[in-house]
Amino acid sequence: MTVPFQKYHGTGNDFLIIHADEHVPDRGALAERECDRTDGVGADGVLFLALEDKFDPPRVVMTLFQPDGATAPMCGNGARCAAEWAMARTGTDSVMIDTQAGTLRAERDGDEVVIEMTDLTFDPDEVPVDADAPVLNEEIEGLEVSMVNTGVPHAVSFVDDVDDVDLEEVAPPVRYADAFPNGTNVCVASPDGNGGFRQRTYERGVEGETDSCGTGAVAIAVAARRLGLTDADPVDVHPPGGHLRISFNERGRPTLAGPVEHEFDGEVAVKSPVEP
């Protein structure tokens, strides 16, 4: 048996989208299989989306399964892809997205999709990180990091030049450090010379570097502002896959803006948990 999917990416962070009504008995196994870039379709995750179009604006319930087969409560680029998918289906320019980290407002703005982020926090209990006070520029496993939760946890390290960092070498010890009960994503950022930052992110669940990470870009912007490294608004963040923009709206919340592309459609096999 197969189910249809649509493939989207947001600044290179790519996802298979499967309608939540499709019968997929083991979503984690499907994500492990199909995210594989050699033997599967290849992606950074699978978004299962339930669309409730009787609301105005329509609502989307988003569940992200990562390449390791586990779920993550939030994904900035995934939410932007989910919004574009839902807006295309409903002929609207705005939707609400329900994630495990809260409900997000999303809208189309020209060629870009913008989401308003959920509450973010430096509170160590909420990140979570084993510390008595917010972790700002503290050394953990050889990297000077600031810890913030932007829907998922991020360790942000400001460096002179992100290209000089061997991310596959320095990130895993931080990602698995004992201080983080849920693990963490690891971002490095260096100034772009205009109040913005270049970004590279090693993602939990992908267990490798991705071309872009939306929650990571927001983590870099808010950590930079907290540390007094920029007062720009918007803060431009440049991951390898493109350009994201973080602004601060009248509610004091960060918004994340950038392009979304619909790449292609296809079908993937589903297997029951007992099949080999």
Ligand X SMILES: N[C@@H](CCC[C@H](N)C(=O)O)C(=O)O
- Does a cis peptide bond (omega within 30 degrees of 0) precede residue 191? no
Report in angstroms how near the CB of residue 127 gets to ligand X at its nearest: 12
* Number of chain positions touching ligand X (CB under 6 A): 17
Q: Does 258 bind ligand X (CB under 6 A)?
A: no
Report in angstroms how near the CB of residue 72 gets to ligand X at its nearest: 4
Distance, in Å, from the CA atom of 24 to the CA atom of 30, rounded to the nearest integer, reads 8
Stretch 12-51 residues interacting with ligand X (CB under 6 A): 13
- Does a cis peptide bond (omega within 30 degrees of 0) precede residue 57? yes
Is 137 known to sit in a ligand binding site?
A: no
Q: Between 206 and 221, whose beta carbon lies closer to ligand X?
A: 206
List the catalytic residue out of 35, 81, 187, 213: 213
Is 76 known to sit in a ligand binding site?
A: yes
Stretch touching ligand X by CB under 6 A, among 17-25, 101-109, 201-209, 230-238: 201-209
Residues with Cβ within 8 Å of 41's Cβ and at least 6 positions away in sequence, in order, are: 5, 7, 16, 34, 35, 266, 268
Residues with Cβ within 8 Å of 37's Cβ and at least 6 positions away in sequence, in order, are: none
Distance, in Å, from the CA atom of 262 to the CA atom of 153, rounded to the nearest integer, reads 28
Stretch 77-96 residues interacting with ligand X (CB under 6 A): 77-78
Q: Does 214 bind ligand X (CB under 6 A)?
A: yes
Two tokens at 30?
């499907």
DSSP assignment, residue 190?
A: E
Active site residue 35: no
Active site residue 213: yes
Q: Does 149 bind ligand X (CB under 6 A)?
A: no
Q: Does 118 bind ligand X (CB under 6 A)?
A: no
Q: Does 220 bind ligand X (CB under 6 A)?
A: no
C-alpha dist (Å) from residue 41 to 38, 212, 271: 8, 19, 16
Q: Between 221 and 270, whose beta carbon lies closer to ligand X?
A: 221
Distance, in Å, from the CA atom of 119 to the CA atom of 102, rounded to the nearest integer, reads 8
Report in angstroms how near the CB of residue 136 gets to ligand X at its nearest: 20
The DSSP bridge partners found for residue 3 are: 268
**Interface residues toward ligand X, by CB under 6 A:** 13, 66, 72, 75-78, 152, 185, 203-206, 210, 213-215
Which residues define the annotated binding site for substrate?
13, 66, 76-77, 185, 203-204, 214-215
Indicate which residues carry an active-site annotation.
Answer: 75, 213
